[in-house]
Structure 1
Amino acid sequence: MRAATAPLAIGLASVAGLAQAQDLSGEVSIWSWNVAASSLEAVAEGFMAQNPGVTVTVEDLGNDQVFDRMLASCAAGGGDLPDIVSVENHESEIFWAQFPDCFADLRGLGYDEELASQFPAFKRAELEPGGVAYAMPWDSGPVAMFYRRDFYEAAGVDPEAIATWDDFIAAGQKVQEANPDVTMTQADLNGDTEWFRMIANEQGCGYFSDDAQAITINQPGCVAALDTVKRIYDAGLMTAANWDEKIQSNTAGTVATQMYGGWYEGSIRSTAPEDQAGRWGVYRMPSVTAGGPRAANLGGSALAVASSSDAKEAAFAFLRYALGTNEGQVTMLREYGLVPSLLTAVDDPYAAEPLEFWGGQPVWQVILPTLPDISPSRGTPFFGDADSVLQTVQTSYLNGGYESAQAALDDAAGQVELVTGLPVAAAQQ
């Protein structure tokens, strides 16, 4: 199937001595964006070397364009889609709910339980509702703390001793005292809910229940998350900053810690000035309580095959190679910093390599082992509605608009109920 606009074509690659994985032929087209598109181009070379009868082309349309064109194409019957489309996990159920017939059930193409079980449960929850495998997990965003070694050392703070958010607050006070021009951390408090969602996910809570049938934003794990954000903010350890402002703070050396999905490794490394090499490190996110969970996810995507594709077998073979093998997943990790979802990737030799920029730390040995511990969190078709509500409520709570995190999230739950029609889950005892 040919896409409507001119693709970034990848020439047919061949490597002598490599056996064909399958006797396949045809053309496979893909829609994606930015470094995700570049990573698919890189991994396509290895796939085509093993399948010389297949040509893969990738179109870098940009994130918003892919989303908008997928919606428009599915609404029109799906005939204008490429063979493979990229979709972000938290937005995926918008498509499955409105246009379930627009995408092939991968179970009919070879995505059996043996293969599916190689991915963590949190990545599959939104992609396989009702037992239909609409897409295959791609990259993930296991959360980590990216920190400046020199700022922590100046304050006598050992990051490995930071096990709880109380520890983080105490460490932040020391870091800021020892480095007067540095803030401990930053969050996009005016345009995102990232910190709330990361800590809530760590605590096994999200906007909606695991079956997507009830609102859970005011359950204890979410309350603990919002309370934690406010305690860090009230301690003067968190300033508001959007994506670009965070990068500017990183490069200027005015922030000590950034909490993000593992994909942020590449963002720091690729934008930092040369003199910061060796000054950054990574440690696991703290927990609300001592001995509590220390794993969460932020971000990540999947790949789906269009029902209208006339090259489904070749398209799924590409998915199996790119997403279901260490070779494919580690190629994308090494070249573009896309964090694998494939559980076996942690055992790849590259994941154990010390990285010079990170002071010789094998950062993937810190990040990847958290994948099996991450709790699922359903986005549902109503993610955008709930997130908009929470943004407003969070801002008001941080500015003293509610007497407690519980009161703030009870109000948020009521608003989400009005917008979505879903019931608020009964309070946990």
Structure 2
Amino acid sequence: MKNIALLGLTLIAGSTLAAPKGEITIWSWDVAAKALEATVPSFNKLYPDVKVKIVDLGNQNVYDRGLAGCAAGGADLPDVYSVENGEAEVFWARFPDCFTDLTTLGASKYIKSFPAFKWTELSVGNKRYAMPWDSGPVVMFYRRDLYKQAGISPTSIKTWDDFIKAGQKVNAKFGGKVKMGVIGNGSDDEWFRMLANQNGCFYFDNDAKEVTINQAGCVDALNTVKKLMDAKLLSVGDWGGQITAFKKGDTATSMFGAWYEGTIRSNAPELSGKWGVYPMPAAKKGGVRAANLGGSALALPASSKNKEAAYAFIEHALATNEGQIAMLKQYGLVPSLLSAAKDPYVAQGQKYWGNQKVWKTILDTLGDVPAARGTQFFQEARQIMVVTQADFISGKFKTAREALDSAAKQISAATGLPVAK
């Protein structure tokens, strides 16, 4: 009888652990926040006693308030925190006690469920401070109708030189009113980062020990950005400006990480059937046609009062095909979970995209993406590069190498890391 009683207590304890209750708050942004909302119904079927509150604070505000909360010892942080992979190491390095090591909650069993590169920036030694969410393989989203009117076949665009020739046709056809893309020049350096990553170059080396922004691949990337600007193929706009441009038909192409699929589809449902996807152009014939921009993770602040429910949500949203495919279907977040990439949905033609099998096109590039490390100094380096890029394009430097040598010295001074020889 004693053993039976103990068994009963164990079962009760187990059921309690498996059925968290209460309320959890999640901070996220834009499409990512909407995507998390898409996982709530299936989560609540499993955990009906957990109320999930998702707050869309905007990308920069989530980051800023996260830093402020960690600096204040975890004050006013949510139960689940969205963090971009490129910025994640800032938190682990500066505030090692701010987030929960997910291995203490059972995350070790998911190590091989995600690509190794997705864990790199989320781990410190054997501790894993966040679970991989989405990745951002870069592709070209293009307007089928505008390309056709300008006499352009996307299959003919294999290099950046090909892209420039196509852009000249667009300029000629539409009198310069339609551009081949929108760039955040002066507010972001996303085009430079995508092209640099494609060339196997980034702000820092993959050991996070040296500044590498003035290496050959980065020089080539910055030169290409200037060529595109000098040819008047790109308009300048911030995040909102880029959305406005594609809704109005002022841009024929949007180059972004594949998560932008959801941004286009949700903001411009009226353009269904008019969009398609092709791989980003290579620096040279036969070169790499892949890069990564963005990709996020979910972390659990140590100050959470409901860690059990918070981890259950993270686990359901990110470590199950159900959660990942729900976010892919509704909002275009590219799964990092390896098993989700094999889901039948990935191989289906998508109506919005002219029945193209866009997810196959996108996921086929993942294996070609060169590794890149954001490090804890990502934001410092990015801010320096945003100014450097704008200065180079405006003519303040004679060459891209001169501009990037200047950026490298500034990044080295700001981080204490030496410039690679």
TM-score, structure 2 as length reference: 0.88
Residue aligning to 1:105: 101
SS in 2 for 1:393: helix
- Are 1:332 and 1:338, in contact at CA under 8 Å, matched by a contact in 2? yes
Is structure 2 residue 381 aligned with structure 1 residue 386?
A: yes
Task: Give the aligned residue type for 2:213.
Answer: I
TM-superposed CA distance for 1:271, in Å, is 2.9
Question: Which of 93, 98, 103 is residue 89 of structure 2 equivalent to?
Answer: 93
SS in 2 for 1:255: coil
TM-superposed CA distance for 1:111, in Å, is 1.9
After superposition, residues 127-138 of structure 1 pair within 5 angstroms as 127-138=122-133
- Are 1:21 and 1:50, in contact at CA under 8 Å, matched by a contact in 2? no
TM-superposed CA distance for 1:330, in Å, is 1.1
Residue aligning to 1:163: 158
Task: Give the aligned residue type for 2:276.
Answer: G
CA distance in 1, matches of 2:61, 2:206: 29
Q: Cα 1:36–1:179, aligned 2, differ >3 Å: closer, same or farther?
A: same
Residue aligning to 2:239: 243
SS in 1 for 2:253: strand
Residue aligning to 1:3: none
What percentage of residue pairs aligned between the two structures are identical?
53
TM-superposed CA distance for 1:404, in Å, is 1.9
Q: Cα 1:391–1:101, aligned 2, differ >3 Å: closer, same or farther?
A: same
Question: Which of 199, 205, 224 is residue 209 of structure 1 equivalent to?
Answer: 205
SS in 2 for 1:299: coil
- Are 2:140 and 2:255, in contact at CA under 8 Å, matched by a contact in 1? yes
Per-residue Cα deviation, 1:35-66 (whole angstroms, up to 9, x for no partner): 43333233122123124454444344444443
Residue aligning to 1:369: 364
Is structure 2 residue 29 aligned with structure 1 residue 50?
A: no
Is structure 2 residue 217 aligned with structure 1 residue 230?
A: no
Larger mean Cα displacement after TM superposition, 145-154 or 238-247: 238-247
Task: Give the aligned residue type for 2:389.
Answer: Q
SS in 2 for 1:260: strand
TM-superposed CA distance for 1:157, in Å, is 2.1
Q: Cα 1:69–1:277, aligned 2, differ >3 Å: closer, same or farther?
A: closer
Greater helix proportion: 2
Residue aligning to 1:267: 263
Per-residue Cα deviation, 1:163-196 (whole angstroms, up to 9, x for no partner): 2112211222223223333222221112110100
CA distance in 2, matches of 1:82, 1:394: 36
Is structure 2 residue 177 aligned with structure 1 residue 194?
A: no
- Are 2:203 and 2:211, in contact at CA under 8 Å, matched by a contact in 1? yes
CA distance in 2, matches of 1:293, 1:131: 33
CA distance in 2, matches of 1:79, 1:398: 42
TM-superposed CA distance for 1:162, in Å, is 1.5
Unpaired runs of at least 5, structure 2: 1-14
- Are 1:151 and 1:179, in contact at CA under 8 Å, matched by a contact in 2? no
Q: Cα 1:37–1:247, aligned 2, differ >3 Å: closer, same or farther?
A: closer
CA distance in 1, matches of 2:251, 2:53: 40
Is structure 2 residue 112 aligned with structure 1 residue 117?
A: yes
TM-superposed CA distance for 1:98, in Å, is 1.1
Please identify runs of 4+ aligned residues in structure 1 that moved more than 6 A: none
Residue aligning to 2:26: 31
TM-superposed CA distance for 1:341, in Å, is 1.9
- Are 1:120 and 1:371, in contact at CA under 8 Å, matched by a contact in 2? no
Is structure 2 residue 329 aligned with structure 1 residue 338?
A: no
CA distance in 1, matches of 2:23, 2:366: 30
TM-superposed CA distance for 1:320, in Å, is 2.1
TM-score, structure 1 as length reference: 0.87
Is structure 2 residue 397 aligned with structure 1 residue 397?
A: no
Is structure 2 residue 150 aligned with structure 1 residue 174?
A: no
Unpaired runs of at least 5, structure 1: 1-19
Q: Cα 1:243–1:68, aligned 2, differ >3 Å: closer, same or farther?
A: closer
SS in 2 for 1:386: helix
TM-superposed CA distance for 1:22, in Å, is 7.1
CA distance in 1, matches of 2:383, 2:64: 19
SS in 2 for 1:29: strand
- Are 1:251 and 1:273, in contact at CA under 8 Å, matched by a contact in 2? no
TM-superposed CA distance for 1:346, in Å, is 2.5
- Are 2:17 and 2:308, in contact at CA under 8 Å, matched by a contact in 1? no
Larger mean Cα displacement after TM superposition, 55-64 or 263-272: 55-64
CA distance in 2, matches of 1:241, 1:79: 35
CA distance in 1, matches of 2:264, 2:411: 35
- Are 1:28 and 1:56, in contact at CA under 8 Å, matched by a contact in 2? yes
TM-superposed CA distance for 1:95, in Å, is 1.0
Per-residue Cα deviation, 1:63-111 (whole angstroms, up to 9, x for no partner): 4443333323322332643332222222222211111112122223222
After superposition, residues 266-285 of structure 1 pair within 5 angstroms as 266-272=262-268, 274=270, 276-285=271-280
CA distance in 1, matches of 2:244, 2:17: 48
